[in-house]
Amino acid sequence: MNNNIDFNELWASQKTAKPNKAALMAELNKYKKTNLTKMIALNLVLVATALFVVYILWSNQAKLLTTKIGAVLIVLAIVIFVIANNKLIVGFKNISGAESNKAYLENLLAVKSKQLFMQTTVMNLYFILLPIGMVLCMYEYVRKMTLPGAIFAYTAFALWIAFNWFYLRPRQIKKQRNLLDGMIHKFQLINDQLIVD
Amino acid sequence: MSFDEIYNTYWQKIFRLCMGYVNDFDWAQDITQETFLIVWQQLPKFRNEANISTWIFRIASNNCLRQIEKAKRIPKTALPYDVREETIESIEPKLKLLYQFIAELQETDRIIISLELENIKQAEIAAIVGLSEANIRVKIHRIKEKLTIKFKENEQ
Question: Which 3-state string (H, E, C) describes A97-154?
Answer: CCCCHHHHHHHHHHHHHHHHHHHHHHHHHHHHHHHHHHHHHHHHHHCCCCHHHHHHHH
Q: What total number of domains does chain B contain? A: 1
pLDDT at residue A125 greater than cutoff 80: yes
Is position A13 within any domain?
no
Point out the residue among A11, A104, A194 whose CB comes nearest to the CB of B16.
A11
pLDDT score at B80: 43
Domain count, chain A: 1
Residue A11 lies in a domain: no
pTM of the model: 0.76
Say if CB A6 and CB B119 are below 8 A apart.
Answer: no
Chain A interface, Cβ < 8 Å to B:
1, 3, 5, 7-8, 10-16, 18-19, 21, 24, 27-28, 31, 96-105, 108, 183, 186-187, 190, 193-194, 196
Domain presence at residue A12: no
Helix or strand holding residue B86 (H, E): helix B81-90
How distant is the Cα of B108 from the closest Cα of chain A, in angstroms?
7
Q: Looking at the predicted structure, is the pLDDT value of residue B113 above 90?
A: yes
Q: How far apart are CA A51 and CA A54, in angstroms?
A: 5
Q: Give the contacts of A95 (CB within 8 A, at least 6 positions apart).
A: A104, A107, A108, A111
Is residue A16 one of the residues assigned to a domain?
Answer: no
A99: closest chain B residue by CA: B58
- Express each pLDDT in B123-154 by its tens digit: 999 999 999 999 999 999 999 999 999 988 88
| DSSP letter (8 states) at residue B77 | G
- Given this model, what pLDDT does residue B51 score? 87
Which residues are within 8 A (CB) of B66 and not within 5 positions of it... i.e. 6 or more apart? A108
Counting residues of chain A whose pLDDT is more than 70, the rounded percentage is 87
pLDDT at B76: 43
Check if the beta carbon of residue B61 is closer than 8 Å to that of residue A101: yes
Chain A: closest CA distance from residue B141 (Å): 13
pLDDT bin (cut points 50, 70, 90) of residue A93 is low
Across A81-85, A187-191, B118-122, least confident range: A81-85
Q: Which tens digits make up the pLDDT trace of B13-60?
A: 999 999 999 988 888 888 998 899 889 888 888 887 678 999 999 999
Cβ–Cβ < 8 Å for A111, A95: yes
Residue B81 pLDDT grade (very low, low, confident, very high; cuts 50, 70, 90): very low
Domain around A61: 21-193
Task: Evaluate the CA torsion angle B120, A196, A98, A12 in order and state its sign.
Answer: positive
| Residues of chain A found within 8 Å of residue B131, distances taken between Cβ atoms | 102, 194, 196
B43 contacts B3 by C-beta, under 8 angstroms = yes
For A7, the closest of B37, B69, B147 (CB atoms) is: B147
At residue B73, does pLDDT exceed 70? no
pLDDT, tens digit (0-9, with 9 covering 90-100), for A102-119:
998 888 888 888 878 877
State the Cα torsion A17-B12-B117-B89 to the nearest 10°.
-10
Domain assignment of residue A70, yes or no: yes
Round to whole Å and give the CA distance between A95 and B66. Answer: 12
The domain in which residue B15 lies consists of 3-155
Please state, in angstroms and as integers, the Cα–Cα distance from residue B27 to each residue in A92, A141, B30, B78, B94, following that order: 23, 56, 5, 13, 21
| Residue A145 pLDDT greater than 70, yes or no | yes
